[in-house]
Structure 1
Amino acid sequence: MNAHRQGRGRTGPNLVGIAARLLLPGVALALSGCGIGVLDPVGPVGGAQRTILFDSVGIMLCVVVPVILGTAGIAWWFRASNRRATYRPDFVYSGRIETMIWGIPFLVVLFLGGIAWIGAHELDPAKPLASPAKPLEVEVVSLDWKWLFIYPEAGIASVNRLVLPVGRPVHFRLTSASVFNAFFVPRLGSMIYTMNGMTTQLNLQADRVGRYPGQSSHFSGDGFAGMRFDADAVPPAAFDGWVAHARSAGPLLDRSAYLALARPSSAVAPYAYRAVVPKLFDAIVMHTIDAPPSPAVATARR
């Protein structure tokens, strides 16, 4: 009998070990994602949004943690074996308990509402960032299924690559030449939608040199999964060098080149245009130059 019990002890399932093997990969995966997402910002907008996120979680934990501990404490105190617990079958009301139950959630909603109100105004996408440097103007067009970035001051453009000078604010004007879409660089912050025939604005800034992945965060058709781009934050001298190199090579982005670019395609390798016809972005917004319809739109019109 004793030998049988000892055998079961050695070969029986180790629940703690099984739980650890199941949970640790998930925890490691979650922590590894923090290094490339919104929890590791590289600019003032992303940093402010992370602060709002942490503050909101902290406020909510002020309710969640006491409720969890209180539930466990009540269950333990009023267990059947506890002779010191008072049995009160006629209990129906307590002013103190009611005040606590309703007062704490009221304060949580008040604080969360205050954070949301202040954050919504301080982080208005169209609000310029406080900086002595002049903002860099970038015009963004979402296509099927790629991104076009136009630098009107430099007269160049790039596809699926956004190059930004470190420490300088960037003012984006965004539109869509096709369906509804969304522009998002997680480590810079502030996802914003792009809409056909409309213009939205966004102000961002990168404070650290690096390559940060950007993406379309709104489903837009068959090539959505590959609609990604690189946001390269480089020193100002390197940015000037990239502009000079782009001007010396690459095709011209005129009407015919834009119509060819606008045809639906995905997983397009980044490249640059040496020159752009003036007011191309405005022409796309005002539909004086129209991209070919996406497959979904073309099918719906038949």
Structure 2
Amino acid sequence: MLTPALIMLMAVMLSGCGEQFIVLDPKGPIGESQKDLMYFSAILCTIITIPVLILTAFIVLRYRDKPGRKASYTPNWEHSAKLETIWWSIPIVAILILAIVTAKYTYELEPSKPIESAKAPITIQVTSLDWKWLFKYPEEDIATVNYLKIPEDVPIKFQVTADTSMNSFWVPQLGGQIYAMSGMAMTLFLQADEPGSYYGSGANFTGKDFAQMTFKVDATSEEDYKAWVDEVKATSPALTMEGFETLTEPSTSDVQLFSSFPKGLFDKVVRQYVKGDGGAHQHHGSVAAEPADEADASESQSETKNKPDLNASIHAGH
């Protein structure tokens, strides 16, 4: 009775997550492969757990002490090579199969691995803020807050970082999540195979309004995508550094569109803790964290020149 009760409890708890389990309704090649791995793993585990549960019930009923029981009385029995072989070999074989398949999918689904396509990928730079998402399209020179529009059947190269708190960028129907970390630039390739509106969110606790860090991803035709880009550039205000500083303040936000953004803004966020000639941490082919323009380079050199020589001070102390 315990197992059915647990299943019913899980169903009730998960019913508040939506009308369907969207992670099991993928709309892109990455999400589809991840769903296949989840199904395979669940089926393989079921092959083991169901016989175990059935045998548990059978043993309890067959060998319980009761008047007139038919089970043979064998007080000196302690070992059966045949039974030991059966109940150890089956789980071992299942685990080996699961390990091989999981390793294969792990390498195939490496987040920074480009998606094979005849179309060139579009780059979108993602910055996690408190408590909102800033998306920058460097090739189109536009930016959005809490909203993404992408063309269908075109690979999207997401470059992901965080301004402060670590978060996790996730569009369940397109693929798995990847962490957004301050001082690091992570790379994630996703693709939508058909038009539609998809749910996106932060999947990491970052404070009191973390639950508001949701966004919508609209996948449209390439013609509609280009028309939207042109409309944003023609009708939306520019994002200035002052405007970006305002966005970094802890607060929620509605959807915002910007016709341009400061050059090198993403690199500036990634390199905010870097001094001198150091470089920001990167993840498999992520954006190179270099000064975006001559002004940034001059500022970096000036900081290095004016910074006291820590090693000299230490030696002097000795």
Q: TM class, shorter-chain normalised? A: 0.7 to 0.9
Alpha-carbon contact 2:183-2:273 (below 8 Å) kept = no
Alpha-carbon contact 2:155-2:189 (below 8 Å) kept = yes
Match of 1:77 among 58, 62, 76: 62
Residue 219 of structure 1 deviates from its aligned partner by 0.4
Q: What fraction of aligned residue pairs are identical, expressed as a percent?
A: 36
Letter in 2 for 1:87: Y
Letter in 1 for 2:22: G
Match runs of 1:91-170 below 5 Å? 91-170=77-156
**For residue 11 of structure 1, what is the aligned residue in structure 2?**
none
Q: Is 1:274 the counterpart of 2:241 in the alignment?
A: no
Residue 202 of structure 1 deviates from its aligned partner by 0.0
- C-alpha distance after superposition, 1:227-273 (max 9, x if no partner): 1111111111111111011001122112222112211111x111210
TM-score scaled to structure 2, two decimals? 0.79
Residue 27 of structure 1 deviates from its aligned partner by 6.2
- C-alpha distance after superposition, 1:143-202 (max 9, x if no partner): 011000000000000000011111101001011011111101111111000111110000
TM-score scaled to structure 1, two decimals? 0.83
The secondary structure found in structure 2 opposite 1:199 is: strand
Match of 1:224 among 189, 201, 210: 210
Residue 74 of structure 1 deviates from its aligned partner by 2.0
Alpha-carbon contact 2:111-2:188 (below 8 Å) kept = yes
- C-alpha distance after superposition, 1:25-84 (max 9, x if no partner): 946965984735211111111111110001001111111011011112222333435643
Match runs of 1:1-302 below 5 Å? 23=8, 26=11, 30=15, 33=18, 35-79=20-64, 80-81=66-67, 83-266=69-252, 268-287=253-272
Task: Compute the RMSD of aligned alpha carbons.
Answer: 2.5
Q: 1:179 to 1:25 in 2, by over 3 A?
A: closer
Alpha-carbon contact 1:36-1:187 (below 8 Å) kept = no
- C-alpha distance after superposition, 1:116-148 (max 9, x if no partner): 211110100000011111001100000011000
Q: 1:181 to 1:83 in 2, by over 3 A?
A: closer
Letter in 2 for 1:140: V
Letter in 2 for 1:273: F
Letter in 2 for 1:221: G
Matched residues in 1 for 2:22 and 2:68: separation? Answer: 49
User: Which consecutive unaligned segments of at least 5 residues does structure 2 have?
Assistant: 275-318
Q: 1:77 to 1:31 in 2, by over 3 A?
A: farther
Alpha-carbon contact 1:34-1:40 (below 8 Å) kept = no
User: Which consecutive unaligned segments of at least 5 residues does structure 1 have?
Assistant: 1-18, 290-302
Residue 275 of structure 1 deviates from its aligned partner by 1.0
Letter in 2 for 1:204: L
Matched residues in 2 for 1:189 and 1:215: separation? Answer: 12
Q: 1:128 to 1:60 in 2, by over 3 A?
A: same
Letter in 2 for 1:207: D
Matched residues in 2 for 1:275 and 1:288: separation? Answer: 25
Letter in 2 for 1:134: A
